[in-house]
Chain A
Amino acid sequence: MTRVAGLLFFLTAAGAALFLFYIKQEVREMEEELGIVHRDILRHQEAIRVLKTEWSYLNQPARIADLAARHLDLRPLTARQFVRLEDLPPRGARSASSEVPAASGAAPTLAPTLAPTLAKAPAPRKGPRKDTALTEAGNAR
């Protein structure tokens, strides 16, 4: 009986020791890995820093201006190129105003046909209908 118990104890102790050894080994390996990862992080951070500096260096305004002058057909923005949204003609206003006779003929027929379609028909039907309506209007022009 004592012999069996002793054996059991011995086996348990041996198992525990092995397990401990295994875990310790595992942890050591992981710590090593962590160290490598940390070193990598530092290396990459350093590289990022160098690259950021290089990016800033390459973006010197004088250099960009010179490159743009040599390779691009662009000029610095002037105040004349700004337009306020409300100064833009409303969408479609141009065709409506310039084609008054044609549009006046198309408009009444367009409105009643489109309105119910938009209200009732499911989404896919909306597209083709609108297109035909527009081409009709285009033909009328």
Chain B
Amino acid sequence: MTRRPEQFSLNLRPGNLRSRDPDARAARDFAARDFMDGGGAPALETGRTRLLVAGMVFALAFIVIGWRLVDIAAFSPGGEPRIAATPPAPAFESGRADIVDRNGVVLATSLPTASLYANPRQVRDPAGAAARLVRALPDLSRTEIRAKLSTDRGFIWLKRNLTPREQYRVNRLGIPGLYFEREERRFYPHGRLTAHSIGFTDVDNKGLAGVERSFDAVLRGRAEPLTLSLDLRVQHVLARELAAAMTEFAAIGAAGLVMDAATGEVLAMVSLPDFDPNRPGTAAPEARFNRASLGLYEMGSVFKIFTVAMALDEGVVTLDDGYDASKPIRIARFTINDFHAKNRWLSVPEIFMYSSNIGAARMAMDTGTAVQQAFLGRLGLTRPADIELAEVGRPMVPSPWREINTVTIAYGHGLAVSPVQMASAVVAVVNGGEFRPATLIKHAEGERPAGTRIMSRDTSLKMRRLLRLVVRRGTGRQADAEGYRVGGKTGTADKLIGGRYARDARIASFAAAFPINDPRYVIFVMVDEPKGIARTHGYATGGWVAAPIVRRVVERIGPILGVEPVRDGAHEDGGEELLVRAKARASKVATN
């Protein structure tokens, strides 16, 4: 017994288990027996119970899992899709939606560009690298690049916004230490042509002008392009003709619009001089100024369209009435004269045709100030245009509106409006008498927004005949396009410079609609400060400067827009009837 402790201690060593020493084995057996006899049985019991509990727990777990398996396999209601969903293909995401014209031509887009930077520490041969780099990117200065690559910095920009071709060329050089950073840049493929209506963005692609500005949030928030009402072809024709006239008459600027007479959509909006929206920073403020929507001008005689329409619609005059235009009107300290003076009694069609200031002034005086104010207000001439641009001029409305204002506004002085306002008002006069706000956003095919009635349909039809008369026999003869019946009105306004009307600085304009028997398009053009030339016998009036622009524009866009030309020799109401009736009345007046 005295060896036991020793045996026990030996027993703890694993090597002893294989001991062949009989003494040791006997002692071990003894020890085991001793262990079982003395308090060993309860421990075994505990072990068994524990095993049972554990076994039951496991069995339960397996039963649950098994049941769940059966449940899924056999009783599942089929909530799981049979075919795994394919992750959707990624769409190219740009931070800003495209802008396209009504035919889907891209006008503004965001292009991924690569900007080239260098880690000068990794450039082993700065001089050689600079020489090769300048060959690939000729607009970089070699000495500058060399200086940049020789610095001891970890990062330096070499060139921002490379074109894909430039990037390819740089990549091909394989100069170590040069890297590209992906950036996005707004690009305007048509540059100057749509500069004023589209506008431009800053370096962070935030809209600063034009549609880019007014639709900034919309463009940011969506992927599909924004479709404008502009038609690039029409825009081009209008821009080209205006530019040609500007050069010919040495004008300082020009503006023009083509609008859809039925919907108020703007098909073309031109303001000259223009600028390159891809480099807005280099443009002069004068060039960035949108004359078509922001510029305010006293339009001159084109306003007689509204004066006559108003007088006819209010029933103040009929087409057979007229006024004595032989003597100038003296009102306040003004004397109102006629430019194309006839010095006799003139019928309403004649007043319109010869653009008599005296006649228009008398008509407006008979109609009254309040009516004129309300009428011009309904035509949208006394509030800023509704067009979706931030650059919209607030018309210069006389306040208070006295009788003298009524008289001068009758022939287009004393109320300065923008060309957009002018064009939308003409749209309302010729389309049957309904005003629709001008818009740069394309309407869905066939959709015609609700308009507000300005005048009776009958008055509108009469105005069409009068407008045609001006082109057939009056001041607008040079607007008579071949194959298309154009109706319109000339305007020549002396410019207000330093509070005085300048004699030699004027706005020559022409407001037209075609085909006049059922107008589809309204054109308004104006040339700022044209100078008379030999061909026009020194004249720089609306009839000599602006009317031919309209003729050429109509002849070009008529076929493009699918307007059916009139046949040669087709019957036309040339307004003779109007004049014959007027003449009969005139002789009656003369004999009385």
Contacts and interface: CB of A to CB of B under 8 A. Distances in A.
A115 interface: no
Given A53-B111, A61-B233, A46 B567 contact: no
A41 interface: yes
Nearest to B93: A42
A80 interface: yes
Nearest to A37: B89
B564 A45 contact: no
Interface string B87-113: 101111010000000000111010110
Nearest to A31: B87
B345 interface: no
Contact of A79 (B111, B189, B483): B483
B550 interface: no
A52 B235 CA distance: 20
Contacts of B94: 49
B482 A56 contact: no
A137 B217 CA distance: 73
Interface in B204-247: 232-233, 235-236, 240
A34 B564 CA distance: 54
Contacts of A34: 87
A60 B559 contact: no
A87 B567 contact: yes
B543 to A, nearest CB: 22
Q: Chain A, interface size: which category?
A: 20 to 34
Interface in A16-66: 34, 37-38, 41-42, 45-46, 49-50, 52-57, 59-62, 65
B469 to A, nearest CB: 21
Contacts of A55: 106
A52 to B, nearest CB: 6
A5 interface: no
Given A45-B92, A60-B193, A61-B233, A79 B106 contact: no
A2 interface: no
A78 interface: yes
B352 interface: no
A62 B232 CA distance: 11
A128 interface: no
Interface of A is mostly: helix
B567 A50 contact: no
B565 A82 contact: yes
Contact of B189 (A42, A60, A77, A82): A60
A79 B92 contact: no
A70 to B, nearest CB: 16
Nearest to B565: A79
Nearest to B88: A38
B443 interface: no
B105 to A, nearest CB: 6
Contacts of B112: 46, 49-50
A50 B166 CA distance: 14
A1 B304 CA distance: 114
B111 A49 contact: yes
B199 interface: no
21 contacts: A41-B89, A41-B90, A45-B92, A46-B92, A50-B164, A53-B106, A53-B189, A56-B105, A56-B107, A56-B109, A62-B193, A78-B555, A79-B482, A79-B484, A79-B559, A79-B566, A80-B483, A80-B565, A82-B483, A82-B564, A82-B565
Interface of B: 87, 89-92, 94, 105-107, 109, 111-112, 164, 187, 189-191, 193, 232-233, 235-236, 240, 481-484, 555-556, 558-560, 564-567
Given A37-B89, A49-B112, 12 more contacts: A41-B89, A41-B90, A45-B92, A46-B112, A49-B109, A53-B106, A56-B190, A60-B190, A76-B556, A77-B559, A79-B483, A81-B559
